[in-house]
A and B are shown apart, each in its own frame.
Chain A
């Protein structure tokens, strides 16, 4: 009910925000542009593209369960500037409200599994045969944010798995445009070009009654070397077969439980200028 209400409000709200932006832009005409932060303009917005994007996001956010395979690659810009791609493959199984399983394999063979059963997050490294766990009772949303933000585990496009995905997108987007209708997938897709302050996003969304993302390209335009993250999303399954032990971790023979560490990052080699705050 609440969701329907929210979705119903999105378009009018969007129009309102666009109108407001225009008014503000006119009112403060030569506003000092801070850096290269994109400014929202009417020309840059494409209501049709926005509708496709939000339809996709809403569809995923409302799905009670799904499975998907993510075959991804990213650029690692080397010290000498050379661009090297590293790959990963993940099978993601998610059952709302409180279960998920991610199996990940890296291009160098390194494999890991992360499980959440509504109560405990378990992370397992296959080659090392070690696992770590932490109690984190809550929803899939809670666990994913905790995992990615606090434990700094990698889950590409983590926001895509949250029930707040549409809102997450809306809060980030500064520009959206429709590129073309793409015929190279097994179904026709809509190719969207989206921009945020820090990331350029391209999405290919399947047309039809299952508007699922089929390919994603992220460009980190402010990072040195402008590295990209690319992922093909395949084997979507909206009613995945869930075995009784899909989300339960049974330690293999000889597996050792080790402590789970949450990193605390500091500003590297730069001295911390705490004195300046006084």
Chain B
């Protein structure tokens, strides 16, 4: 009897301790970063640099960390989607694709359609087989969608029951089309890649222009809202290794958050800690002077 109640008390105590510890951790995370009592630690003077970039480019008031982190955690998986989503991000991409494409309007329309409405694609390819003259426009759309091509292939199979001469002609057309498809596809890929490279370079240039201005390398005060992305330096370790396997050649940009959007159930797999918030898994990274969270994908076995 006494043993039972003691066990129960112990259990309750343990649960209480666990809960308070977790709560304490959460407080230390959020509260510590944001400053106790909601005060922001963020400051132009925090870095103690001998220089300070002119603040005219920055927004007038340093927003509190809490506001910043809320905003940031609202879009935790932005990076995951890679180039497709990036194209949705406003000015950078748009400018890039305008510069790049020979026929800006076509390109723009094509890429929008491509990512937004895959069904339009099929319509496009059907049209194409009926009216070869529209191929120019069609092929731009076509190139992104392998599925579209497959459909047109099956259509062509039906047409092949026609006379031999026609068939011959059709096959030539088909060959040409496939070749064009492939070329288009290649071109598109190259352009995407170039685009990506260009963006990265421009971003980096921005970064250098900001940070190297007048030997100003020792003061990095920015609004928290400015923190957009980060990339892993050196050898990738632990849970991020899979996500940033290409880090050596081309940095993979991640969007870290300073606080988890939820209490975060922690799971340790192979010595690496993962946190689950809904369907999203996070792992930890070291950025600046603190620990941040990056979307990592589920740990092995989950």
Contacts and interface: CB of A to CB of B under 8 A. Distances in A.
Interface of A: 72, 74-79, 84, 86, 104, 108, 110, 112, 123, 125, 127-128, 130-135, 145, 148-159, 168-169, 171-172, 196-199, 201, 218, 220, 222-224, 227-229, 231, 256-275, 278
A263 B286 contact: no
Given A259-B236, A262-B231, 17 more contacts: A76-B62, A79-B61, A123-B286, A131-B286, A148-B217, A150-B233, A152-B287, A152-B288, A159-B49, A224-B55, A224-B62, A227-B43, A256-B271, A257-B237, A265-B211, A265-B226, A273-B91
Interface residues on B, range: 35 or more
A222 B52 contact: yes
B220 interface: yes
Given A74-B43, A265-B207, A269-B59, A148 B237 contact: no
Given A76-B41, A222-B54, A112 B289 contact: yes
Nearest to B96: A274
Interface in B23-74: 28, 32, 35-36, 39-64
A267 B57 contact: yes
Interface of B: 28, 32, 35-36, 39-64, 90-92, 94-96, 98-99, 202-204, 206-207, 210-211, 214-218, 220-223, 225-241, 244, 253-254, 256, 271-273, 283-292, 294
B207 A264 contact: yes
Given A78-B39, A256-B271, A275 B91 contact: yes
A150 B43 CA distance: 19
Contacts of B256: 261
Nearest to B200: A264
A99 to B, nearest CB: 19
16 contacts: A76-B43, A86-B41, A135-B234, A148-B49, A158-B49, A159-B218, A168-B215, A220-B44, A229-B47, A260-B232, A261-B256, A261-B292, A262-B233, A262-B287, A265-B211, A268-B226
A260 B294 CA distance: 12
Contacts of B204: 264
B293 to A, nearest CB: 10
Given A172-B51, A196-B51, A259-B238, A267 B43 contact: no
Given A128-B291, A153-B288, A258-B285, A231 B48 contact: yes
**What DSSP secondary structure best describes chain A's contact surface?**
mixed
Nearest to B58: A268
A223 B59 CA distance: 11
Closest 3 CB pairs of A and B: A156-B48, A223-B44, A132-B286
B259 to A, nearest CB: 13
Contacts of A74: 43, 45-46, 48
Interface centre among B57, B215, B220 (most CB of A within 10 A): B220
A261 B39 contact: no
A14 to B, nearest CB: 18
B47 A156 contact: yes
A131 B271 CA distance: 13
A153 B287 CA distance: 8
Given A79-B61, A258-B284, A269-B59, A263 B91 contact: no
Contacts of B292: 261
A133 B234 contact: yes
Contact of B231 (A152, A156, A224, A264): A264
Given A130-B286, A268-B223, A271-B90, A198 B52 contact: yes
A72 B47 CA distance: 11
Contacts of A265: 207, 210-211, 220, 222, 226-228
A61 to B, nearest CB: 14
Contacts of A145: 217
Contact of A218 (B45, B56, B63): B45
Contacts of B215: 168, 171-172
Contacts of A104: 289
B203 A268 contact: no
B64 A78 contact: yes
Contact of A261 (B225, B272, B287): B287
A200 B190 CA distance: 50
B40 A76 contact: yes
A266 B233 CA distance: 18
A154 B44 CA distance: 12
B218 A108 contact: no
A260 B49 CA distance: 22
B232 A261 contact: yes
A148 B220 contact: yes
Nearest to B59: A268
Contact of B52 (A78, A131, A220, A257): A220
